[in-house]
Amino acid sequence: MEKLRLLLVEDEHAFHQLITKTLSDDYDITIADSVMQATDLIDQQHFDFALVDENLGNASGSQWIQTHHERDNFPRSTIIYSGSAAEETLLKALDCGASDFLKKPFSMQALKQKLASLQKYHERLDEYEDQLSSSNEVLVTALTQAAKFGQCMQLVKELNHCMTLEQMATSLQRFFKQVDLKAIIGLRLNDQQQLAVHTEKGSCSPLEEQVIHALANKKRVFTYGQRTAFNHEVASILVLNFARSQDSEIWIDALASLIESIASRIQFLNYHHSVLEVQTMLARTLTETRSLVNAAKQNREDTLNAIRQSIGLSFHVLDLSEEQEQYLSDLVEKALTENASEEKTLMQIRHALDDILQTIDKVTEQQDAPTPAVEPAVPALDDDILF
């Protein structure tokens, strides 16, 4: 075990020998005969302790400590000793920045106890500083993580107003540029509608498109060198410039959640487009049905008019009264109307289609509102080769 280093600032040679003989087994001792020599030594070497005489010829040990104790390379602890233990001497030792005080003459056992006590004090300080540093690291990590997740959630809010893959791609490109990450992004609405963008170049090369859409069959999160992929069957993000660090690990957690939110929005768009397609088909069918109903009604009117004309001529030949003619006409019209089953069926279909179309319109209006953000749990990361 390496010895602790002690600087003795003392101008009496007899005291040099006594200190060296007593403490050399436990400490690496360096001697300075004056404050000037002591100053030169602390500029050149590191010391754990300084043992300083108050009376150094024309110089004051406490004045030397006060002048230099705030320097980065000054000994961690200093013990000043003096032949006077008056209150003024003790206050001077306290004000100068010394760690402890001894009144001369003092025993070597008392000196050893003072040094041992200061060493324990150092250890407690080091432990406290380690705890403080660890707490600060946790705090910084938490704040960094909150900031990155906050950026992702702000992006999710923006994505929830996008109604096309192109709008989503534009928002994602802007986000990755802001956070200084280079990535290839693949969005897949269905087999016919796929989009691949590069956050720096805009367009992707044919190979980049092939790579990003091939990720649909890969794991949710995996890494290859500085590349990290975040994957879903309808969306993939391949980050190209991830350097392994604590910061990148936080980004991995945040982007793993982000990919789920992106996928959720794409799935909503797919559902929304399906609803619009059904709505269009029903509107077209309803228009055709209305035309058929109108044609059937017109055909019935034409038939009734023709029958009325024929019956009118027949009634005139039969020389019937007006009441008899009206009665027979009403009977014929009633029979034709009751038997017009085709027209009734078309009317029923028309009303049913009207009801369905109104329901779809309401659903579409509700779905046009922004969907809530998805924050899935992030699984453990798996390393995997890209291909």
The region of weakest confidence among 5-14, 75-84, 147-156, 332-341 is 332-341
Residues 43-84: pLDDT tens digits?
Answer: 999 999 999 998 888 888 889 999 998 888 899 899 999 887
Q: What is the pLDDT of residue 144?
A: 74
pLDDT over 80 at 20, yes or no: yes
Residue type, 112: K
Q: Quick one: what percent of the chain has pLDDT higher than 90?
A: 22
What span, in angstroms and rounded, lies between the C-alpha atoms of 90 and 384? 68
pLDDT over 50 at 377, yes or no: no
Maximum Cα interatomic distance, the chain, rounded to a whole number of Å: 163
Q: What is the pLDDT of residue 386?
A: 33
Task: Count the neighbouring beta carbons within 10 Å of the beta carbon of residue 45.
Answer: 12
What span, in angstroms and rounded, lies between the C-alpha atoms of 167 and 229? 22
The domain locations on the chain are 4-106, 140-264, 272-367
CB-based contact 100:77 (threshold 8 Å): yes
- Structure tokens belonging to residue 215: 């990720």
Query: In this structure, which long-range contacts are made by residues 334-339, counting pairs with CB atoms below 8 Å and at least 24 apart in sequence?
Result: 336/300, 336/303, 336/304, 336/307, 337/300
What span, in angstroms and rounded, lies between the C-alpha atoms of 190 and 187? 9
Q: What is the pLDDT of residue 343?
A: 58
Would you place residue 385 in the very low, low, confident or very high pLDDT band (cuts 50, 70, 90)?
very low
What span, in angstroms and rounded, lies between the C-alpha atoms of 261 and 253? 13
Average pLDDT on 281-303 reads 79
Q: What's the CATH architecture for 140-264?
A: 2-Layer Sandwich (3.30)
C-alpha pair distances (Å), 373 with each of 154, 263, 307, 365: 10, 11, 68, 19
Per-range mean pLDDT, top range of 14-28, 130-144, 241-255:
14-28
Q: What's the CATH architecture for 4-106?
A: 3-Layer(aba) Sandwich (3.40)
Dump the DSSP string for 313-373: HHHHHHT--HHHHHHHHHHHHHHHHHT-HHHHHHHHHHHHHHHHHHHHHHHHHHHTSPPPP
Mean pLDDT of the chain: 80
In this prediction the pTM is 0.52
Would you place residue 187 in the very low, low, confident or very high pLDDT band (cuts 50, 70, 90)?
very high
Q: What is the pLDDT of residue 289?
A: 77
Close Cβ partners of 333 (under 8 Å, ≥ 6 residues apart): 304
User: Which one is predicted more confidently, 268 or 328?
Assistant: 268
